Amino acid sequence: MQQGQRLLASLGHRCNNLLLPGSPLATCLPLVIDGHRLGLVKPDIARILTARCPSVFHYGSGGRSLTLADGLSGFRPVSNAMATAFEQLRTDGVFPCLTKGWRNELYAARLRSTRQPVFEVERSAASLLGIAQWGCHVNGYTVAADGSQRPVAMWLARRSLSKPTWPGHLDNLVGGGLPSDCDSPTLNARKEAQEEAGIPAALLDSLQPVGTVSYFYEDERGVFPDVEYCYDLALPDTFSPVSVDGEVAEFRLVPLADLPELIAQPDFKPNSGLVCLDFLLRRGCLSPDTQPLYDLLMEISPFPPTHMTSYGLFRPPMSFLPNLPPSVLAKNADAEALGARRSKEEYRKMKELEEARKLAAVPAMKDEEGKDINPHIPQYIMQAPWYYGALHPTLKHQIKPAGEDEKRQPDTTASGEIITMASGGSEALNRWYKRGQAAGPRATKYRKGACANCGAATHQAKDCFQRPRARGAKWTGEDIAPDQHVQPDLKLDFEAKRDRWNGYDPASYRQVIDSYAKLEEARKQVRSSKQEAGGEEGEQRDDEDRYGDEMAMPGQKFDCKERQSVRNLRIREDTAKYLYNLDPSSAYYDPKTRAMRGNPFEGRDVSVEEAPFAGDNYIRYQGDALPMMEQQVFAWELQAEKGVDAHLQANPTRLELLHRELDEKSKEIGGQISQQILEKYGGQEHLRAADSEAPELSALSQTEQYAEYSRTGTLLRGAEAPAVRSRYDEDKKPLNHTSVWGSYWEAGKWGYKCCRSTMRNAYCTGLKGRLPAAGPP
């Protein structure tokens, strides 16, 4: 028994040694590419990769991660760079796993097995980068002869001695990695079954996927966050597998009763042992009554419990902390150790494990039924309260127990009639409260036992809501109030009492539906009458179709009765415009219209052609935008001046022909008018080209300065804006002044420098104006 415990503990340590206390998990560096965490690299391996392959790898985040070199991105460039780097490392003999285990087989690095791979790398180098390796394992078994489909034996394969990894070890019937060029685990499992065991396609039709097995360990080759797709295949007794590709030395049919002890042997491949153990637990082949090492097998199973067992095996860092009641802590010392306060190191490991589970680098926690617990559920929701007494991860405290409504007292009416229960809740939640409605016809005389104030038989005078009368209905016998509907005694919980829709009658909404139906029927009659009277063709459709079909395109027609919102949306993967330049003094971004008319890269060393976004104005005045704008203006002018309905989007060819014809006629008429003016007034010689007569004048009239203006005259690009001149006339010296106004300043006043006069439009007195005025004699 002790020997079996040691062997099974060794298997658990080998398959999940990175989850053990003191493991190098905290020192490993994440491999981050394009913001995605793809792997986990040991620090000594990262040091070698950055030193020998600086063109591919370098440190990021201040040395806390490993990433690609600057400028290296894209699936094919990254794959080629890594192939060259690891080929050189293999030639130099830096890593033994490359020199001895090179397979010429590519593995894809991806976040999930079904996503597009980020890059591909040699299979033997995948452990150096710590990327997840995906594989397929097939459990081939035979069933009992009594027809119960109960598995009795399993086929195992002994690996060939020529295999680079685990030579001569026992393995599953079929096993293999998921290569880069295959995205379907099922197709890969079928291919491996035909190549390794010679299983015909007819038997593979019953291949059944049953889940995955995950493990997380490290050795001298690197880090292995691996995931194995598991398949079950029932084989007939008459079939015997045959090695086809030479990767298997022999096949053995082992009874399931001998399989647990065989898994613990050193010559059994560890991850295949986990797959076989998963098969035994799923099929119910193990029982705590018949298997003395059942608890130990559960501890090293692919779904290891997160609490300490009595065997004292490893306890991985937990994101679930048992919250035990004080009575349990007082009676059980082990429970007290579970509920004890964690150290900073254990708390840090717990947080790292939570992040690894969110990134799918570590398998998710399992509840008591073996189902995955979403790692993104907050801790305060997943953590069970102390009075629940949960010793393992669970979410049952968040689920309403089945049959809880049956334990409650049934809802009853005033007469004691029991309201039937609905499945999963009380029918009272769907009952209509007849608030304020009369229970029957109004009484004509007072009845004994009725309300003394209003005369209603459903309540007493102390519960009456009417204004107290001077003489109640009991004595007058007049104006008897109708009997109100008595509400049933509904036993509602806290939320139901405060539900504002509680007691709402859905049938009352039928009036709203009927009113809209009548309105729609009236609209149809109006439209049919217009069609009979020869109305517009566009009125033949429903109003709902006008949004997509009959609404005028933006800018086509200006009608205040028609509104159509045009949203400037973007693809989620595209970078937002306002993120190109976070300087608040740069191009203005309007969050309401999501428009940035200016160039966010203005003032940088980025040309307009190379910039990913140069502003909405740049796009608006490039390509066919300007000709289309001219066509649109022409369509508006035709509509306003000529009454011709020419639509740019509906019939662009007709509009272009009209525009071209009008241009030709305009040029022809303009030429005739110019010729008539020249014949009448002369001056033909001034319109001739001056190149032959005075080439120097022609040269002076040309310039290479480029300037582009908008239709409103605003300078878009090109020459600099002219300097702002003074509003006063410059270099003009009226009234005999020799200096301009504003050339002299004294006592807060402007004046002329020549005579120092501060009076505007005063005649210049010259030097006499500078002399002080003569005083009185």
**Cα distances (Å, whole numbers) of residue 267 to 166, 222, 581, 668:** 9, 22, 62, 99
Q: Among candidates 202, 191, 199, 171, which has minimal Cα distance to 276?
A: 171
Q: Which two tokens stand for residue 239?
A: 């079939």
Please tell me whether residue 79 adopts helix, strand or coil conformation. Answer: helix
Please tell me whether residue 618 adopts helix, strand or coil conformation. Answer: helix
Residue 620 has φ and ψ, to the nearest 5°, of -70, -30
**What would the mean pLDDT of 107-131 be, rounded to a whole number?**
79
pLDDT score of 610: 83
Q: Are 630 and 647 in contact (CB under 8 A)?
A: no
pLDDT (tens digit per residue) in 64-106: 788 888 888 888 888 899 889 998 888 888 888 888 878 888 8
Pairing status of strand 715-718 against strand 707-709: antiparallel
Q: Are 8 and 14 in contact (CB under 8 A)?
A: no
CA–CA separation, 400 and 521 (whole Å) = 48
- E strand map for 78-150: 106-109, 119-122, 134-143
**Cα distances (Å, whole numbers) of residue 669 to 55, 80, 665, 674:** 70, 68, 6, 9
Half-sphere exposure of 125 (CA within 13 A, CB side): 25
pLDDT band at 563 (very low <50, low <70, confident <90, very high): very low
Transcribe 726-743 into DSSP letters.
PSSPSS---TT-SS-EEE
Q: Are 661 and 668 in contact (CB under 8 A)?
A: no
pLDDT (tens digit per residue) in 183-206: 788 888 999 899 888 999 888 988
pLDDT score of 336: 41
CA–CA separation, 307 and 14 (whole Å) = 19
CA 432, chain centre distance (Å): 42
| Count of Cβ atoms closer than 10 Å to residue 666 Cβ | 10
pLDDT score of 520: 92
Residue ranges of alpha helices (H) inside 537-624 are 616-620
Q: Are 50 and 59 in contact (CB under 8 A)?
A: yes
Q: Percent of the chain beyond pLDDT 90?
A: 9
Task: Give helix 625-637 / helix 652-681 axis angle, nearest 10°.
Answer: 80
Cα dihedral: 707, 708, 714, 719 (round 10)? -20
Report which DSSP code applies to 642: I
How many residues are listed for the chain in this entry? 777
Enumerate the β-bridge partners of residue 750: 745
**Is 6's pLDDT higher than 60?**
no
| Count of Cβ atoms closer than 10 Å to residue 742 Cβ | 13
The chain-wide mean pLDDT, for the chain, equals 76
Residue 210 has φ and ψ, to the nearest 5°, of -125, 0
Element (H, E) at 270: helix 270-282
Q: Which residues contact 610 (CB under 8 A, 6 or more apart)?
A: none
Q: Are 231 and 138 in contact (CB under 8 A)?
A: yes
| Count of Cβ atoms closer than 10 Å to residue 768 Cβ | 8
CA–CA separation, 471 and 460 (whole Å) = 16
**What would the mean pLDDT of 314-319 be, rounded to a whole number?**
40
pLDDT score of 470: 92
**What would the mean pLDDT of 528-548 be, rounded to a whole number?**
58
Q: Which two tokens stand for residue 308?
A: 């300490």
Please tell me whether residue 319 adopts helix, strand or coil conformation. Answer: coil
Q: What class has domain 4-307?
A: alpha beta
Q: Looking at this protein, which amino acid is placed at residue 323? A: N
pLDDT score of 403: 54
Residue 704 has φ and ψ, to the nearest 5°, of -105, 0
pLDDT (tens digit per residue) in 659-706: 899 889 999 998 899 888 888 888 777 766 544 455 555 555 566 777
Q: Which two tokens stand for residue 364?
A: 């998710």
Element (H, E) at 547: none
Enumerate the β-bridge partners of residue 211: 230
pLDDT band at 564 (very low <50, low <70, confident <90, very high): very low
Q: Which two tokens stand for residue 302?
A: 């692919």
Q: Which two tokens stand for residue 288?
A: 């705590």
Q: Among candidates 192, 185, 155, 153, which has minimal Cα distance to 170?
A: 155
Element (H, E) at 508: none
Q: Residue ranges per domain, the chain?
A: 4-307, 326-398, 444-485, 624-677, 732-776
pLDDT score of 335: 44
**Is the alpha carbon torsion for 525, 526, 527, 533 positive or negative?**
positive
Q: Are 373 and 395 in contact (CB under 8 A)?
A: yes
Q: Which two tokens stand for residue 169?
A: 């070890």
Q: Are 313 and 9 in contact (CB under 8 A)?
A: yes
pLDDT band at 567 (very low <50, low <70, confident <90, very high): low
- Match 């439009």 to its residue by tokens: 761
293 by Cβ neighbours in 10 Å (0-12 / 13-18 / 19+) ranks as buried
**What would the mean pLDDT of 407-411 be, rounded to a whole number?**
51
Please tell me whether residue 704 adopts helix, strand or coil conformation. Answer: coil
CA 218, chain centre distance (Å): 32
CA–CA separation, 307 and 338 (whole Å) = 7
pLDDT band at 297 (very low <50, low <70, confident <90, very high): low
Full-model pTM: 0.41
What Rg, from alpha-carbon coordinates, does the chain have? 45
CA–CA separation, 261 and 349 (whole Å) = 33
Element (H, E) at 654: helix 652-681
CA–CA separation, 132 and 471 (whole Å) = 89
Maximum separation of any 2 CA atoms in the chain, in Å:
149
Q: Among candidates 602, 547, 23, 567, which has minimal Cα distance to 315?
A: 23
pLDDT band at 539 (very low <50, low <70, confident <90, very high): very low
pLDDT (tens digit per residue) in 728-776: 666 778 888 888 888 888 888 988 888 888 888 888 988 777 766 544 5
Q: Are 30 and 39 in contact (CB under 8 A)?
A: yes
| Count of Cβ atoms closer than 10 Å to residue 422 Cβ | 12
- Match 């079928």 to its residue by tokens: 190
Look at 727 and 28; give whichever has higher pLDDT: 28
Q: Which two tokens stand for residue 145?
A: 């002869």
Q: Which residues contact 96 (CB under 8 A, 6 or more apart)?
A: 220, 221
Q: Are 733 and 724 in contact (CB under 8 A)?
A: no
Q: Which two tokens stand for residue 269?
A: 């491949």
Task: Give helix 270-282 / helix 2-15 axis angle, nearest 10°.
Answer: 110
Please tell me whether residue 420 adopts helix, strand or coil conformation. Answer: coil
Q: Which two tokens stand for residue 442?
A: 């109004």
239 by Cβ neighbours in 10 Å (0-12 / 13-18 / 19+) ranks as middle
Q: Looking at this protein, which amino acid is placed at residue 95? A: F
Q: Among candidates 208, 211, 200, which has minimal Cα distance to 238?
A: 200
CA–CA separation, 177 and 159 (whole Å) = 15
Q: Are 78 and 33 in contact (CB under 8 A)?
A: yes
Report which DSSP code applies to 258: G
**What would the mean pLDDT of 303-328 be, rounded to a whole number?**
42
Residue 335 has φ and ψ, to the nearest 5°, of -65, -35
Look at 302 and 661; give whichever has higher pLDDT: 661
